Structure 1
Amino acid sequence: MSATPVPAAELPDGYEISVDPARIDPARVHHWLSTDAYWAEGRPRETQDAAIAGSLNFGAYDTASGEQVAYARVVTDSATFAWLCDVYVDRSVRGKGLGKALVVAVREHLRPLGVRRVLLATSDAHGVYERAGFQPLPEPAQWMVHYYDPAVRS
């Protein structure tokens, strides 16, 4: 399965979204996240490669060049739960709606699996996720977290 359904109105012209793992550019994804994403700055390449290997990965690509221009990763059991993370759009193509299109693609890909909820965490992109149908947790006090390293909270 290489393509994922995205309503035509959601995807900017000249771009496509795929879940084909062979199309992911791990070096590019690592560079983006480890140098330009507050939640993953300094993440080692080996850690990023392991995260990619253990996840459902979405890439957005320029249809003319085939170049990867955005990325999203989902940790899921493909039945009941999903965690959307590492959403990144290359700075050169921001503002075109690719972030929202990528998140909608994730949502629509997971819908037929019966996943009951998709969670994510963000410090600065609430508007993007709200436009794609996400909302704040209705009862955040029900959720808990364990940190192996209290200094690392992302």
Structure 2
Amino acid sequence: MIRDDIKAALVTAMKGGDKQATAAIRLIQAAIKNRDIELRTGTAPADDDVLVSEVLQKMVKQRRESITLYRQGDREELAQQEESELAVIERFLPKMMDEAEARAAIDAIVADLGASGPKDMGRVMAELKTRHAGQIDMSKASGQVKAALAG
């Protein structure tokens, strides 16, 4: 489980004296804990990896936005700090599908659901999220689903 990998990485970073990685991993753990509290679960849910992946993807998106803003504001030292955190966070994300794999997954779901037009986009996106959450960039997938349903 991803949660266990994160705990092990924290111990390794602390023993190795890697302060940046330790700080970033603690941020990850805090974000996951906040999500657990939001869901009011005493124990980890059955699909814990999906939950953790969602939290990590949200953190990645935040870091990328911050990097862009810091660079626009000519704050290179802050952008570099965000990039180092981003690198640590991305270590724990499952391998993302490339564009061809994503297109194949979308085409399979369209065929399985018998989706025929733009009105079926919501169903296709929901099924895509169910089957491939954490493996596909949902913002890019949206455009691919539109293209698949239009063509």
TM-score surpassing 0.5?
A: no
So what's the TM-score if we normalise by structure 2? 0.27
TM-score, length-normalised on structure 1? 0.26
Which structure dedicates a bigger proportion of its chain to helix?
A: 2
Per residue, is there more strand in 1 or in 2? 1
